[in-house]
Amino acid sequence: MHTFYKGAPDVVVLPTSAAETAAVVRLCRQARVPVVPRGSGTGLIGGAMAPRGGVMVAMTRMNRILEVDLPNRCATVEPGLINLWLSDATRAHGYFFAPDPSSQMVSSIGGNASTNAGGPHCLKYGITVNHVLGLQMATGAGELVWVGGKAHDRPGYDLPGVMVGAEGTFGVVTAVMVRLFHVPEGVKTLLASFSSIEDASETVSAIIADGIIPAALEMLDEAMVRAIEEGIHAGYPKGASAVLLIELDGPRAEIEAQARRIEEICRAHLALELRVSQNDAERALLWKGRKEAAGVIGRLTPNWLLQDAVVPRSRLPEIMREMLAISARHRLVFANVFHAGDGNLHPIICYDDRVPGELERAKQANEALMHACLAMGGSVTGEHGVGLDKAEKLPYQFAAADLNFMARLRRVFDPDTLMNPGKLLPDHPACAEGFRPAAALPGGSWV
Ligand SMILES: Cc1cc2nc3c(=O)[nH]c(=O)nc-3n(C[C@H](O)[C@H](O)[C@H](O)COP(=O)(O)OP(=O)(O)OC[C@H]3O[C@@H](n4cnc5c(N)ncnc54)[C@H](O)[C@@H]3O)c2cc1C
């Protein structure tokens, strides 16, 4: 995302219960003050920012596990619970929470549900929406509602499906009921390096076409590997143009057979090096490099712009070729680390804002890439969501009638469009009419 978005809320509240959260929303509604929900603030789309001021409702104090129900393989948690804490709490019983954004050590389950987060292992297990059975929300209308639940077939509309990914524009999520999965019997992680991004991309398509769905299938390019090795020393091979990190999980006999087949596919696509992690420590180190990649980008560039467009997986080789052409045309370095198996692209467009014109070229390259993804049947945004960053880009993809329909749906939950204004849907000039700063809250307001 662009790091130039700025804006501070007038007030930050830290509720400790669903009832308190709903009371805050009701108070803001009476005074017509915008409300910005916030989880851990790791979002990359400017979603949890308050460029118009207002009240930020930060969920960090609501971080308890409310129930673990192993017979029904589910758990109910408060929204501020850190993603990884749920797996940490259930692993000893043989269970884990599958959606694993690379930020899982810090991002909250409420934030994951609100952005419908993906992650490396979502290739096999599905994205967050596939794991949310139910949720509680303090809607923008000031009601506290529970939708969904433990029963798998629900009567009526699939409301959790509508509310997951709403990015705080419907209300504040105050509890989430999620599925738990059995920890698989075995796990195997393979690393393959290639002399070209095209070979690596063709390998990704060939693995899936072969009928194998790895638990994770991640790609890193030469620039990213270099930065990771300088900063984290994860043991990735330097010098190769692309590295694939391929993880298999499931019954041991099955993953052994799949690993042998993947090795054959990698060799057929001219892999330079093939390595299989021999133990948990080696596996953890390979993943440490991937999951901490964002922290080493500063070794590559003083400024960066992260794209999150997506293409259908089969178009991956094509879009990677196009990306090389765009970076050459705009004379910019692109570093890549992304969920290749999902077709999710995360090029990090490197620029230096001290060099005149470089930010402008980065923005142009970013636009060109987004249009290339759309031309290939993709989308302007993948797992990160729309937020402030992509709201004005939605008309590239949706007709006015589609956007109006979404705006009408939003008003069902948030009649006054006070919830996270300016995010997710393109702004209508009338939207900001009647907003008031938090000073409009009655003096001595207390919930
Ligand atoms: C290093 C790094 C790696 C990342 N890797 C991934 C990845 O692999 N996959 C991926 O999908 N994302 C990834 N992200 C992006 C980010 O971590 C996810 O979008 C995450 O789901 C955001 O969670 P959060 O708790 O930080 O939410 P925030 O950033 O605080 O908020 C995100 C959005 O959700 C809304 N929101 C938050 N909590 C609530 C709530 N309780 N009720 C209503 N709305 C709410 C906010 O208003 C905002 O619109 C990464 C980010 C970083 C920094």
CA 294 to each of CA 87, 232, 305: distance values in angstroms, whole numbers, following the listed order: 22, 11, 12
Average pLDDT over residues 38-56: 93
Q: Is the pLDDT of residue 429 over 60?
A: no
Mutate to test the pocket of ligand 1, among 5, 13, 24, 114 (most ligand atoms within 8 A of CB): 114
Q: What single-letter amino acid sits at 50? A: A
Predicted pLDDT of residue 434 = 57
Separation of CA 376 and ligand 1 centre (Å): 27
Q: What is the pLDDT of residues 250-295, one digit of tens each?
A: 999 999 999 999 999 999 999 999 999 888 888 998 888 888 888 8
Average pLDDT over residues 37-55: 93
Prediction pTM value: 0.93
**Cα–Cα distance measured from residue 179 to residue 63, given in angstroms and rounded to the nearest whole number:** 18
Ligand 1 atom 16: residue of nearest CA: 43
* 186-194/171-179 β-pairing: unpaired
**Cα–Cα distance measured from residue 336 to residue 256, given in angstroms and rounded to the nearest whole number:** 29
Contacts with 365 (C-beta within 8 Å, 6 or more apart), sequence order? 326, 327, 329, 330, 332, 334, 349
Separation of CA 13 and ligand 1 centre (Å): 19
Contacts with 408 (C-beta within 8 Å, 6 or more apart), sequence order? none
Ligand 1 atom 23: residue of nearest CA: 111
* 55-58/11-13 β-pairing: parallel
Average pLDDT, the chain: 92
pLDDT band at 435 (very low <50, low <70, confident <90, very high): low
Q: Is the pLDDT of residue 31 over 80?
A: yes
Q: What is the pLDDT of residues 100-111, one digit of tens each?
A: 999 999 999 999
Separation of CA 441 and ligand 1 centre (Å): 28
Q: What is the pLDDT of residues 169-192, one digit of tens each?
A: 999 999 999 999 999 999 999 999
Average pLDDT over residues 143-157: 91
pLDDT band at 4 (very low <50, low <70, confident <90, very high): low
Q: What is the pLDDT of residues 318-346, one digit of tens each?
A: 998 999 999 999 999 999 988 888 888 88
